[in-house]
């Protein structure tokens, strides 16, 4: 029982981190039709810059804030200078974002060195609680709570504000929104910024969770996020959280019982979804070329 | 007009190839030939990538997996069995079968969907192959990789240099023929306008899968040559860096030209060699790939046709201008 609860919590925490990455991807894709291959780079930048600020100031909260600010700024720069010049050309967009990914992760090595950096949670999140004989690690609970909070907040914005309304309408039909006189470019930038900020938040939370950060982790998590985006349905925000939890749980249970197959199971899941429901398990249409 | 230009280009390349064939007789430098062999191998790899991205408009981010399958098939056959020509051909055969099968399945799954799906699935599948190569230690010796002996015929560096050069030229000519065949024309039509090609009655999916399979098999051949040239394989053959190499070479050299892929391969391998030397002077050159990343982004933004494409449009425009001018003179 102890084991199962811990594996579940572990899976949920990993799932939440993947969700923070995948949510931005899926929203950006749904709205702008851009699959941002540099998203993993933003994630890694969040991890490095957040950890740096955390180490400089000694406050984890300021570190998180630093990561989010870095992420948002990088998001704005990316949207403005990298993606906007090639709007409408899919192949160019895919190529250019991968190039950005390359530059971002190499820049990390230039600034912080090629070796991995150790990270540990602040004192108040260290250690564990004992609840009825089950040992629960505090930091995992913290990640799950942050993930749920972000999900609720974004869901609230999407459902209850003007911007959210425009975003949802834009996902359904971009041209119509534009025809109604709304400056969709501004919405694009806003969504890109939020998506990048969420990715950076995921990155900074991952550092103390896994203990070390390295420049290659952006790509590792980006692959998981792509799997989540496909399973959840591209452009489907709610789908992405369910799929992220699914991938996180299957990863954590498989890593314990059949460690060699943990990535293979997620890949298999993605292949099955691609065959049977290319629009995603929870998704709507819009995938055919 | 363009056809003649294309033939001129081919003739030019054949002249260079002849020069490169004769080079070992007059010049002796072990390092240079190793570097050139490396360039030929990556040129083959980049051309196979060009068939996808430049001629069909498919973006793959997992091309390394075909390369790795080739490299590992050769390594495993040579290590586990005897390093003889029989097993060499068996390794080639298994590479062709495996890469063909994998590219067929991947293509079947994702090529009917938007272009993002193929890029994503290949990216994650090559990640899966990387993990497989790391975990299947009894076969691949994990991350450390293993060395192996090669058949006697291929031991001599100069012979192998000729072999890779000939293969590169052969594959270049084959792909030239392939892309100009009716099938290749349809592929280019798909690149230009998929809907229209479909409405003209072509089964777009079949053509795309054909391109994907041909490209995968050729990438596997490049992987075989790579493994033989190093006599060593490790998991890095499946890494993202290999795919990125192909991507940089093709994009910077020029997509949809084949020659561009070769030029890109030469450029990047030479620069790699040179910048690694410079790394002794200053550490920033250790991160040489960052320069190419930036150049790559600028090329995608401003010169989407790459070096070769941009140059040929430039000369074509100039010729057109002079033609117009001389016409004006005649008229005046």
Q: Is residue A207 part of a domain?
A: yes
Instruction: Please tell me the predicted confidence (pLDDT) of residue A71.
Output: 94
Cβ atoms A140, A16 nearer than 8 A: no
**Residue A286 forms part of a structural domain:** no
> Which residues in chain A touch residue B57, judged by CB atoms under 8 angstroms apart?
91
The string of pLDDT tens digits covering residues A31-82 is 888 888 899 999 999 999 999 999 999 889 999 999 999 999 999 999 988 8
Query: What range does the domain containing A24 cover?
Result: 2-276
Cβ atoms of A117 and A212 closer than 8 Å: yes
Question: Domain extents for chain B?
Answer: 29-331
Distance CA B112, CA A228 (A): 20
Q: How many angstroms separate the CA atoms of B133 and A33, rounded?
A: 34
- CA-based nearest residue to B220, from B59, B74, B320: B74
Provide the token pair at A21.
């990455």
Q: Which of B127, B135, B193, B198 to mutate to test the interface with A (most CBs of A within 10 A)?
A: B127
Residues near B262 by beta carbon (within 8 Å), at least 6 away in sequence: B13, B43, B46, B47, B168, B172, B253
Q: Which residues pair with A58 in a beta bridge?
A: none
Measured between CA atoms, the residue of chain A closest to residue B108 is A275
Taking 80 as the threshold, does the pLDDT of residue A280 lie above it? no
A264–B contact, CB cutoff 8 A: yes
Q: What is the pTM of this model?
A: 0.85
Contact B120 A230 (CB under 8 A): yes
Using DSSP's 3-state secondary structure scheme, residue B183 falls into: helix
| Residue A287 within any structural domain of the chain | no
In this complex, is the C-beta atom of B121 within 8 Å of any C-beta atom belonging to chain A? yes
- Interchain CB distance below 8 Å, B128 and A100: no
For tokens 């949809």, name the residue. B256
Helix (H, G, I), strand (E, B) or coil at A118: strand
- Looking at every residue in chain A, the average pLDDT score rounds to 87
Residues with Cβ within 8 Å of B47's Cβ and at least 6 positions away in sequence, in order, are B171, B172, B175, B218, B258, B261, B262
Phi/psi of residue B60, each to 5°? -115, 135
Nearest chain B residue to A37 by CA distance is B120
CB pairs < 8 Å spanning A and B? 103
Q: How many CB atoms lie within 10 A of CB A82?
A: 20
Strand partners, B293: none
pLDDT 10s digit of each residue in chain B, 332 long? Answer: 444 455 676 777 778 878 888 887 777 777 888 888 999 999 999 999 999 988 888 888 889 999 999 999 998 988 888 888 888 899 999 999 999 999 999 888 888 777 778 888 888 888 888 888 888 888 878 778 888 888 877 778 888 888 898 899 899 989 989 999 999 999 999 888 888 988 888 888 899 999 999 999 999 999 999 999 988 888 888 888 889 888 889 988 888 888 889 999 998 888 888 887 777 777 666 777 788 888 888 888 888 888 888 887 777 777 777 776 666 666 54
Q: Is A34 on the interface with B (CB under 8 A)?
A: no
User: Does B124 touch chain A if contact means CB atoms closer than 8 Å?
Assistant: yes
We report the CATH number of the domain holding residue A8 as: 1.10.3470
- DSSP class of residue A282 equals T
Contact: B116, A35; criterion CB under 8 Å = yes
Cα-based distances in Å from B47 to A199, A239, B27, B42, B230: 35, 39, 28, 8, 21
Number of domains in chain A: 1
The answer to whether the CB atoms of B300 and A107 lie below 8 A apart is: no
Asked if the structure places residue A81 within a domain, the reply is yes
Q: Which residues of B touch A77 (CB under 8 A)?
A: none
Chain A closest-CA separation from residue B181 CA (Å) = 24
Query: Per CATH, the architecture of B29-331 is what?
Result: Orthogonal Bundle (1.10)
- The question of ipTM being above 0.90 is answered as no
Task: Answer yes or no: do A103 and B113 touch at CB < 8 A.
Answer: no
């Amino acid at each position: 029982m102890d084991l199962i609860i811990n594996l579940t919590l572990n899976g949920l925490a990993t799932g939440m981190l993947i969700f923070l990455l995948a949510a931005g991807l899926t929203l950006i894709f749904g709205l702008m039709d851009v699959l941002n291959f540099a998203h993993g780079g933003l994630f890694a930048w969040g991890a490095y810059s957040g950890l740096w600020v955390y180490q400089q100031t000694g406050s984890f909260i300021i570190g998180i804030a630093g990561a989010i600010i870095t992420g948002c700024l990088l998001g704005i720069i990316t949207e403005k200078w990298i993606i906007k010049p090639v709007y409408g050309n899919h192949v160019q967009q895919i190529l250019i974002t991968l190039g950005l990914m390359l530059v971002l992760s190499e820049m990390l090595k230039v600034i912080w060195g090629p070796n991995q950096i150790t990270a540990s949670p602040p004192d108040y999140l260290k250690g564990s609680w004992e609840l009825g004989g089950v040992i629960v690690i505090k930091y995992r609970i913290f990640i799950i709570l942050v993930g749920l909070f972000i999900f609720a907040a974004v869901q609230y914005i999407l459902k209850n504000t003007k911007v959210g309304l425009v975003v949802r309408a834009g996902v359904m039909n971009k041209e119509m929104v534009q025809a109604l006189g709304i400056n969709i470019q501004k919405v694009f930038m806003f969504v890109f910024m939020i998506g990048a900020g969420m990715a950076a938040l995921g990155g900074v939370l991952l550092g103390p969770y896994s203990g070390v950060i390295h420049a290659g982790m952006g790509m590792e998590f980006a692959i998981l996020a792509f799997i989540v985006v496909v399973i959840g349905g591209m452009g489907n925000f709610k789908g992405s959280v369910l799929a992220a939890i699914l991938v996180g749980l299957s990863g954590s249970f498989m890593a314990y019982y059949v460690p060699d197959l943990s990535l293979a199971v997620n890949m298999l899941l993605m292949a099955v979804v691609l065959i049977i429901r290319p629009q995603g398990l929870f998704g709507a249409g819009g995938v055919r070329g | 007009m363009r056809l003649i230009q294309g033939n001129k280009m081919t003739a030019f390349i054949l002249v260079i190839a002849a020069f490169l064939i004769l080079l070992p007789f007059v010049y002796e430098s072990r390092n240079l030939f190793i570097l050139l062999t490396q360039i030929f191998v990556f040129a083959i790899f980049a051309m196979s990538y060009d068939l996808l991205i430049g001629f069909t408009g498919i973006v793959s981010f997992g091309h390394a997996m075909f390369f790795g399958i080739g490299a590992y098939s050769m390594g495993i056959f040579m290590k586990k069995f005897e390093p003889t020509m029989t097993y060499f051909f068996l390794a080639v055969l298994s590479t062709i079968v495996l890469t063909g099968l994998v590219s067929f399945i991947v293509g079947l799954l994702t090529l009917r969907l938007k272009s993002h799906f193929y890029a994503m699935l290949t990216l994650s599948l090559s990640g899966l192959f990387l993990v497989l190569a790391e975990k299947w230690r009894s076969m691949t010796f994990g991350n450390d990789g293993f060395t192996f002996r090669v058949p006697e015929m291929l031991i001599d560096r100069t012979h192998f240099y000729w072999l890779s050069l000939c293969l590169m030229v052969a594959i270049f000519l084959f792909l030239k023929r392939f892309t100009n065949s009716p099938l290749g024309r349809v592929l280019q039509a798909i690149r230009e306008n998929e809907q229209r090609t479909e409405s003209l009655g072509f089964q777009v999916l079949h053509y795309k899968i054909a391109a994907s399979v041909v490209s995968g098999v050729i990438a596997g051949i490049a992987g075989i040559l790579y493994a033989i040239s190093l006599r060593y394989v490790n998991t890095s053959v499946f890494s993202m860096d290999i795919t990125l190499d192909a991507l940089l070479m093709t994009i910077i050299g020029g997509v949809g030209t084949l020659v561009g892929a070769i030029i890109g391969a030469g450029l990047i391998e030479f620069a790699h060699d040179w910048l690694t030397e410079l790394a002794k002077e200053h550490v920033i050159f250790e991160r040489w790939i960052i320069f190419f990343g930036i150049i790559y982004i600028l090329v995608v933004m401003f010169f989407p046709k790459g070096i070769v494409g941009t140059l040929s449009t430039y000369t074509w425009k100039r010729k057109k201008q002079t033609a117009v001018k001389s016409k004006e003179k005649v008229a005046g």
